Amino acid sequence: MTEEIVDAINAIWIMTSTFVIFLMQTGFALLESGSCSAKNQVNLMMKNVLDVIIGGFIYWCVGYGLQYGNSDWSNPFCGWIWRENGFLNTLGSLDCCGAAAVHFLGGIASLIAAIKLKPRLDRYANGWRTTAPKPDNAVNSIAGAIAVHAGGGFWGTIAVGLSADFDENVKASIDSTKSQRGLFKSGSFKLLGNQILALLAICVWTVLTAWLILTIINMFVSLRMSKEEEVFGADLWMHGLKTRDNSRGHTEKIVNLKLNAAKISKRLKRVGYEPECQEKVPRRSQELPDVVLTGFVEQVYPNIDGGDTYSGSIVVKHVYRGPRNLQDNRITVEGFGDKNLCLSTINKRDTWIYYLTPISDGYLRLNASLQKINLQNLDRLKALVKDQPYRKATVVELPCETQYCKNNGNCVEEKTSSGLLTTARCECLQYCTHIFDPVCGSNWETFGNECRLRMESCKRGQNYFVRYPSDCQASPLPQSVALPFTMDVSI
C-alpha cells in the first residue's frame, strides 16, 4: 500500500471522526440542559453551539499545527501518553480509549471547577431532610462529570494494568498493549505501577493547570453568576427569555438573599422583560398585617361587582396573629387575582400562608403575596410573629337555641373529630320515665305520658301534639277538628 493511499485513508478516517464528534455536541447539549434548572436551559444550548464554533476556529488556528506540525524542538508537556516519545508512553503506560488522557483528565478538571464555583444558591439547603450536608464538603457536579468521567477514567486505566493481555500472533504495529500483560495475566506489578503513575501525573498536572487558568479567568471575568442572575436564571438575564422557572417566586428570594432590587429592575428592562405583575413583600414584624394564619382554599367565588379580583372561602388551620374565635373555622378572603399581586389562580385545597387585613365583619382582604407552606416559610413566619403566641384557631360554639328541630326532636351538641368545632343536631328521645300520666295525641291515640308522645312523634316523623290531657276514650271523637295552619298533623 503506497504512502498516498495511506494518507487518503487517514484523511477519510479523520473527517468521519470529525462529523461524529460534531454529532456528539447535540448529545452534550441535551444532557447538560436536562441536568440543570429550566431557567438556564437555553443558555446551556447556546454554550454548546459556541463550543463548536470557537473550538473549531481555535483548532484551525493553533491546534492542527500543534498536533501535526513539524518543529525543531520537542515539547515535553505534549503527548505524554499518546505520542511515541512521550515520557509515560516510553515507560509503558497504556491509555485505552482515552480513559486517562480524556475522561480522567476531564473529570478532575470538572472537580476543580466545581470547587471554584461552589454550589448554587440553596443547592444544599436543609429543606425536608433531617440533616443538611456540610457546605464545605458539598460539591455540586451538575452533569455528573466527576463521578462518571473521573471515576470511569480511573477504573478504565487501572483495569488495563490488571487484565491486559496480548496475542503473540498479532503484529507489533497493531498491538495496543505493546506486548505487555497485566497483573492477573503475568503476576507482575510493572504495568499496574505504570498505570498508577500515569494517573498521578495527569491528576497533578490537571489540578495545577485547571486551578491556575480558572483563577486567572476569574480575575477578569467572574466565573460565577451574581445572585441576581442566579435567582432569575441565565435565560432571562442574558437572553430575555421567560420560562416557567424564572417568572415566579422572586419576592421571597429577593428579601431573603438581600438582592439588589435596582440592579434587577434595570437589567430586566434592558432585556425587554416586563413582569405581568408586581409581587408585594410581606411586611416585617413591626408592620405585620393584623391577621396572619394558615389554611386551605375551600371555595372560590367571582367578585359580585364584576371587578378583576375574586373571593375565597378559607378553612383555617392555625392562627399566628389575629382573632382567636373564628365562626365555623372559616373566613372569607377578598383580593385574589388583584393586578398588584402575582396570583393568577387559586385552586381548591391549596394550602397557603395568608397575610390579611380586616375590611368588614367577617371579611378580610389579602394585602401581601401568598406563600406556599414549607418548613422554611413556617420558620420565617414564626420569627415574624415571635411576640405572638402560637395557637390553634378556636371557634364560637353553636348553641342549640339556634337549631330548630322538627317533629318534637331534641337538640344535642356534638364535637367534630378535630375537637375544634361544636355543632348542634336533632335526635329523638331514647328514654322516658315510667310515670303514667296519659295524654291524648292529635292523632287520637293515647300515650303513657307527654314524653312518650314526643318520642313517638319524632320516630314516626309526624308532628303530634297533646289534644286532651287524658285518655282519648274519656272524650268523644269530634266530627271535625280545627288545626293550626302551620301544623303538619296526621289524623
What pLDDT score was predicted for residue 395? 42
What pLDDT score was predicted for residue 331? 75
Q: To the nearest whole number, what is the mean pLDDT of the chain?
A: 72
Residue 479 lies in a domain: no
DSSP secondary structure, 296-340, as one string: EEEEEEE-TT--S-EEEEEEEEEEEES-SB-GGGEEEEEEET-TT
- Binned at pLDDT 50, 70 and 90, residue 215 comes out as very high
DSSP state, residue 486: T
Mean pLDDT of all residues in 348-371: 66
Report residue 483 as a C-alpha cell: 288545626
What pLDDT score was predicted for residue 420? 47
Asked if 413 and 424 touch (Cβ cutoff 8 Å), the reply is yes
Instruction: Looking at the structure, tell me whether residues 107 and 206 fall in a common domain.
Output: yes
Is residue 441 within a helix (H) or strand (E), and if so which, with residue range? strand 439-441
Give per-residue burial for 8-32: e unless 16+ CB within 10 Å, then b: eeeeeeeeeeeeeeeeeeeeebebb
What pLDDT score was predicted for residue 308? 59
What pLDDT score was predicted for residue 360? 57
pLDDT tens, position by position, 216-274: 999 998 888 887 778 778 888 788 777 655 544 444 455 445 566 566 667 666 666 65
Q: Is 415 exposed, middle or buried (0-12, 13-18, 19+ CB in 10 A)?
A: exposed
Instruction: Looking at the structure, tell me whether residues 120 and 204 fall in a common domain.
Output: yes
Asked if 100 and 198 touch (Cβ cutoff 8 Å), the reply is yes
Pairing of strands 291-302, 310-321: antiparallel
Query: Facing residues of 293 across strands?
Result: 319, 354
**Whole-prediction pTM value?**
0.52
Closest-CA residue to 357 (of 366, 347, 349): 366
What pLDDT score was predicted for residue 124? 61
Instruction: Looking at the structure, tell me whether residues 80 and 220 fall in a common domain.
Output: yes
Asked if 351 and 314 touch (Cβ cutoff 8 Å), the reply is no
Residue 481 lies in a domain: no
- Binned at pLDDT 50, 70 and 90, residue 152 comes out as very high
Q: Is 47 exposed, middle or buried (0-12, 13-18, 19+ CB in 10 A)?
A: middle
C-alpha count within 13 angstroms, C-beta hemisphere, residue 356: 30
Residue 206 has pLDDT above 90, yes or no: yes
Q: Sign of dihedral through CA atoms 129, 133, 138, 144? A: negative
Tell me the C-alpha distance between 81 and 83, whole Å: 6
Instruction: Looking at the structure, tell me whether residues 452 and 385 fall in a common domain.
Output: no
What pLDDT score was predicted for residue 211? 96
**What's the Cα-to-Cα distance from 172 to each of 157, 176, 182, rounded to whole Å?**
21, 8, 17
Q: Who's near 183: CB < 8 A, 6+ residues apart?
A: 161, 162, 163, 189, 191, 192
CATH number at 299 reads 2.40.50.120
What is the number of other CB atoms lying within 10 angstroms of the CB of residue 326? 22
Residue 279 has pLDDT above 60, yes or no: no
Instruction: Looking at the structure, tell me whether residues 26 and 132 fall in a common domain.
Output: no
Q: Who's near 296: CB < 8 A, 6+ residues apart?
A: 314, 315, 317, 349, 350, 351, 352
Q: Percent of the chain at pLDDT above 90?
A: 14
- Binned at pLDDT 50, 70 and 90, residue 340 comes out as very low
- Binned at pLDDT 50, 70 and 90, residue 370 comes out as low
What pLDDT score was predicted for residue 375? 61
Instruction: Looking at the structure, tell me whether residues 299 and 365 fall in a common domain.
Output: yes
Instruction: Looking at the structure, tell me whether residues 105 and 219 fall in a common domain.
Output: yes
Query: In whole angstroms, what separates CA 322 from the centre of its chain?
Result: 31
Tell me the C-alpha distance between 336 and 303, whole Å: 10
pLDDT tens, position by position, 454-484: 888 888 878 787 877 787 776 554 443 333 3
- Binned at pLDDT 50, 70 and 90, residue 392 comes out as very low
Residue 215 lies in a domain: yes
Residue 364 lies in a domain: yes
Is residue 6 within a helix (H) or strand (E), and if so which, with residue range? helix 3-35
pLDDT tens, position by position, 17-41: 888 888 888 888 888 888 887 888 8
Query: In whole angstroms, what separates CA 488 from the centre of its chain?
Result: 61
Residue 340 lies in a domain: yes
Q: What is the largest CA-CA distance in the chain?
A: 141
Range list of H helices, 344-405: 375-384
Q: How many domains does the chain have?
A: 5
Mean pLDDT of all residues in 347-359: 68
Mean pLDDT of all residues in 430-440: 72
> Domain range holding 58?
1-69
What is the number of other CB atoms lying within 10 angstroms of the CB of residue 297? 19
Instruction: Looking at the structure, tell me whether residues 422 and 453 fall in a common domain.
Output: yes
Residue 482 lies in a domain: no
Residue 124 lies in a domain: yes
At which of 14, 47, 69 does a domain end?
69
Instruction: Looking at the structure, tell me whether residues 40 and 101 fall in a common domain.
Output: no
- Binned at pLDDT 50, 70 and 90, residue 450 comes out as confident
**Which of the residue ranges 107-111, 162-166, 256-260 would you say has the lowest mean pLDDT?**
256-260
**Which of the residue ranges 20-34, 325-339, 380-394, 407-421 would you say has the lowest mean pLDDT?**
380-394
Instruction: Looking at the structure, tell me whether residues 208 and 88 fall in a common domain.
Output: yes
What is the number of other CB atoms lying within 10 angstroms of the CB of residue 353? 22
Report residue 105 as a C-alpha cell: 483528565
- Binned at pLDDT 50, 70 and 90, residue 277 comes out as very low
What 3-state DSSP class applies to 463?
coil
Residue 470 lies in a domain: yes
Query: Facing residues of 292 across strands?
Result: 321, 355
Report residue 302 as a C-alpha cell: 367571582
Instruction: Looking at the structure, tell me whether residues 163 and 197 fall in a common domain.
Output: yes
pLDDT tens, position by position, 48-90: 889 889 988 998 898 888 777 777 676 666 778 888 788 888 8
Highest-pLDDT range among 130-134, 161-165, 387-391: 161-165
Highest-pLDDT range among 91-105, 294-308, 430-444: 91-105
Instruction: Looking at the structure, tell me whether residues 241 and 334 fall in a common domain.
Output: no
Pairing of strands 363-366, 330-336: parallel
Query: In whole angstroms, what separates CA 421 from the centre of its chain?
Result: 34
Closest-CA residue to 96 (of 110, 115, 82, 84): 82
At which of 392, 423, 444 does a domain end?
392
What is the number of other CB atoms lying within 10 angstroms of the CB of residue 390? 11
